[in-house]
Amino acid sequence: MNTALFLFRFSILIFFGFIVSACTNYSTTASVQAPPTLISITNNGNSNFTIKVRAQNPEFIFQGYRIYSGATENLAQNPTDLNMGDSCILAQAAIVQPLEYTFEIDPSTNPNTTGVSCRIFSTLTPGTYIAMRTLGLSVNLQNSTSSYKVSMSSNALIVP
């Protein structure tokens, strides 16, 4: 009986070893991250804002969010440089269900308020627009580099 079990396990091991070593094709197409939906923004005073965001990011490459601001809705949603926004990295989260996040936007280095998912160290100006994008990890296997890939833009909200 032990010989049969050994042969079965050995054959499974050989099969998976063949699959892994024989598979040289991999996707070079970047995974698409879902953009978040901005629900509300509240002015808490002293350049401190609270943003409610609804998002779903089931990918293991999910890293966090980046916020952009601009004088118009279009400038907030389509910045000239996608690296210019301020980020909130949530790499420890492996999310499979839609969640409602609470972000604090504050230029100070105060610790997070209770119930806040992440603090983004940024200054917002009342009357401007904000938009967010999801950050995903992008790895280039040809030259062993990695960077962030951003999703499409969220809706935009005007800063009160």
Q: Taking the domains of the chain in order of start, what are their residue ranges?
A: 37-158
CB neighbours of residue 138 within 10 Å = 15
C-alpha neighbours within 13 Å on the C-beta side of residue 120:
26
Read off the pLDDT of residues 111-152 as tens digits, 9 standing for 90 and up: 777 888 888 999 999 999 999 998 887 766 667 666 778 889
Confidence of residue 100 (pLDDT cuts 50, 70, 90): confident
Amino acid at site 47 = S
CB neighbours of residue 50 within 10 Å = 17
The residues that bridge with 139 in the sheet, in sequence order, are 146
Read off the pLDDT of residues 42-80 as tens digits, 9 standing for 90 and up: 998 888 899 999 988 666 677 888 999 999 999 999 999
Helix (H) or strand (E) holding 16: helix 2-22
Q: In what order do the strands lie in the sheet with 118-120?
A: 37-45, 48-55, 99-105, 118-120
Q: What are phi and psi of 22, to 5 degrees?
A: -85, -15
37-158 CATH fold: Immunoglobulin-like (2.60.40)
pTM: 0.75
How many residues appear in the chain? Answer: 160
